[in-house]
Amino acid sequence: MQNSRLIPLNKENFKQIFSKEFFLVIIVSVPGAMIAESFNLPLAWFLGPMIFTSLTSLLGFKTKMPNLALSIVLILLGLYIGNYIDKSLFSQIHQWVWTSLIMFAYIVVCVLLVSKYLQKFSGYEKKTSIFSAAPGALGPLLILAESEKSDISQVATSHLIRLIIIITVFPFVVDNFYIQEAASFEKNIVEPQNILDLFVLIFLSIIFIFLFDKIKVPAALLSGTLVASGFLQLTEIASFEMPANLIDYCLLVLGSSVGCRFANKSFGEIAKNTLHSFVATFFLVIFGIIAAVAAGFVIDKNFFTLLLSYCPGGIYEVAVIAIYFDLDPEFVAFHHIIRLLMILFFVPLLLRFFAKKNSTYS
């Protein structure tokens, strides 16, 4: 079978599933999830594995999250969010134009102001500061940063520290201030379902994933499954409600994958960037709160839904928070996909502007 970057069905990736590095991840992640759950932490099956795997990686142990395992989990999350898509959703889509415009303003303010802070107080080079200030899109930004000869390590570390802060703090904030209970993942599906519908959903999702990847749509694994789920459910061709208790295992893998990103990094490297990353995150969150308040004037949504939509975290990590607290996951996912598109449009444009400006004065 032809190998795919997004769904890597080859011998090497199958071997990673049975590797010692992945086995270690499972060994530390499962107890981490159980310990976090015993302390009644919100999003325990995500935060526990993330914390334990991060510490394991930083202590110098070799950890690895197989791309194939992560891809499968991301497809399942996309299909789960697809359960929320129905015809009533389209009655409010016209309002999303305004919230998307607010998103663009949010990105512009974040990149311009936070990059200035990083340049002045942390000594980041201009391009590195721009890549580090962008509220999300780590993967594509690292590719751009490498092509622009920027400090990839600083960019990656800044985004990772920010991600850890966001996805650790946000669940506690929502858990304490959001009056609605978190979504339960213990319910069972009572009504019988057609397994053929599930195969149709997966098949069409894979087609859209490959198509979106080819035309460079960000987060193709999520956006592809969302479009496939939405189309099949709205046309009533196929519908399949993913088992709610499946999400716990998805959370475990996704949380562990965040921790694995700290492989080959040291405590010293993290400590060096922590203070300025914390301050940068603070500014990004403040701007996100302002954007959420502004969006509240144009659309009738829960404030925490809007805040999560403008949250400077990873799209998949933010999506599971939206699922856990039942905060309109499809709305949140859409805005983070839009955010990725806008960042990929705005950052290269800004870099060309500065390059042209420098050449004018040289």
| Domain formed by 11-178+192-361, architecture | Up-down Bundle (1.20)
Which positions ≥6 away from 275 have C-beta within 8 Å?
none
Q: How far apart are CA 77 and CA 200, in angstroms?
A: 16
124-165 residue pLDDT tens: 888 899 999 999 777 778 777 777 777 777 888 888 888 888
User: Mean pLDDT of all residues in the chain?
Assistant: 85
Q: What value does the CA radius of gyration of the chain take, rounded to a whole number of Å? A: 20
> What's the whole-number mean pLDDT along residues 280-300?
94
User: Quick check: 136 and 336 in contact, CB under 8 A?
Assistant: yes
97-111 residue pLDDT tens: 999 999 999 999 999
Distances (CA, A) of 333 to 80, 86, 278, 315: 12, 15, 25, 7
Tell me the pLDDT band of 1, cut-offs 50, 70 and 90.
very low
Q: Which two tokens stand for residue 251?
A: 């959370």
Q: Which two tokens stand for residue 88?
A: 């009533």
Which positions ≥6 away from 361 have C-beta within 8 Å?
none
Neighbours of 226 (CB within 10 A): 26
What pTM does this model have? Answer: 0.82
CA 106, 141, 159: angle at the middle one, nearest 5? Answer: 70
Distances (CA, A) of 356 to 124, 129, 130, 343: 20, 18, 16, 20
163-178 residue pLDDT tens: 888 988 988 888 888 7
323-344 residue pLDDT tens: 888 899 889 988 998 998 899 8
Tell me the pLDDT band of 3, cut-offs 50, 70 and 90.
very low
Q: How far apart are CA 65 and CA 315, in angstroms?
A: 18
- Whether the pLDDT of residue 5 is over 80: the answer is no
pLDDT at 94: 77
Q: How far apart are CA 195 and CA 5, in angstroms?
A: 28
Q: How far apart are CA 159 and CA 169, in angstroms?
A: 15
Which positions ≥6 away from 17 have C-beta within 8 Å?
66, 68, 69
pLDDT at 2: 44
Tell me the pLDDT band of 362, cut-offs 50, 70 and 90.
low
Q: How far apart are CA 221 and CA 225, in angstroms?
A: 6
pLDDT at 188: 47
Distances (CA, A) of 294 to 21, 222, 272, 300, 349: 45, 27, 35, 11, 26
